[in-house]
Homo-oligomer: A and B are copies of this chain.
Amino acid sequence: MTNTKSLKLGAIGLGIMGAPMAEFLMNAGHPMTVWARTPEKAEFILNQGAAWAQTPAALAAEVDVLFLNVSDSADVEQIVTDENGILAGAHAGLIVIDNSTISARTTRDMAKLLAAKGAHWADAPVSGGQKGAQTASLTIMVGAEPAVYDRIEPLLHHIGKTLTHVGDVGAGQIAKACNQIVVSGTLAAIAEALVLAEGAGVDPARVREALLGGSAHSRMLEIHGARMLNGEYAPGFKAKLHQKDLGIVQQTAQELGLALPGTSLAGQWMNALVGAGMGELDSSALIEVLRRLNGQTSQAD
Q: Specify the chain B residue showing the minimal Cβ separation from A294.
A: B258
Known contacts A128-B215, A217-B218, A259-B294; is-contact A186 B189 (Cβ 8 Å): yes
Q: What is the CB-to-nearest-CB distance from A174 to chain B, in angstroms, rounded to a whole number? A: 4
Known contacts A127-B216, A253-B196; is-contact A178 B211 (Cβ 8 Å): yes
Interface size class of A (residues with CB under 8 A): 35 or more
Q: What is the CB-to-nearest-CB distance from A153 to chain B, in angstroms, rounded to a whole number? A: 14
8 Å CB interface, A251-265 against B: 252-253, 256, 258-263, 265
Q: What is the CB-to-nearest-CB distance from A125 to chain B, in angstroms, rounded to a whole number? A: 10
Known contacts A175-B197, A203-B166, A213-B164; is-contact A189 B262 (Cβ 8 Å): yes
A113 close to chain B: CB less than 8 A: no
Q: Specify the chain B residue showing the minimal Cβ separation from A139.
A: B214
A262–B186 CB distance below 8 A? no
A146 close to chain B: CB less than 8 A: no
Known contacts A197-B174, A210-B139; is-contact A216 B265 (Cβ 8 Å): no
Known contacts A127-B214, A174-B200; is-contact A164 B262 (Cβ 8 Å): no
A207–B166 CB distance below 8 A? yes
A206–B294 CB distance below 8 A? no
Known contacts A178-B196, A189-B182, A193-B182; is-contact A219 B210 (Cβ 8 Å): no
A155 close to chain B: CB less than 8 A: no
Known contacts A174-B202, A175-B197, A218-B220; is-contact A259 B207 (Cβ 8 Å): no
| B residues less than 8 Å from A119 (CB atoms) | none
8 Å CB interface, A206-256 against B: 206-207, 209-211, 213-221, 223, 249, 252-253, 256
Report A100-134 CB contacts with B as 1/0, cut-off 8 Å.
00001000000000000000000000011100000
Q: What is the CB-to-nearest-CB distance from A65 to chain B, in angstroms, rounded to a whole number? A: 22
A15 close to chain B: CB less than 8 A: no
Q: What is the CB-to-nearest-CB distance from A235 to chain B, in angstroms, rounded to a whole number? A: 13
Known contacts A179-B216, A216-B179; is-contact A256 B200 (Cβ 8 Å): yes
| B residues less than 8 Å from A34 (CB atoms) | none
Q: What is the CB-to-nearest-CB distance from A184 to chain B, in angstroms, rounded to a whole number? A: 7
A11 close to chain B: CB less than 8 A: no
Q: Specify the chain B residue showing the minimal Cβ separation from A143.
A: B202
A177–B196 CB distance below 8 A? yes
| B residues less than 8 Å from A97 (CB atoms) | none
10 pairs, A vs B, C-beta closer than 8 Å: A166-B203, A170-B200, A175-B202, A175-B210, A178-B207, A179-B216, A185-B188, A189-B262, A218-B218, A259-B290
Instruction: Using A175-B206, A183-B216, A200-B252 as known contacts, list a sample of 11 further A-B pairs with CB atoms less than 8 Å apart, ordered by residue number in A.
Output: A167-B203, A178-B196, A178-B197, A179-B216, A181-B192, A182-B193, A192-B263, A196-B256, A196-B258, A217-B219, A262-B266
4 interchain residue pairs of minimum CB distance: A185-B189, A162-B213, A218-B218, A139-B214
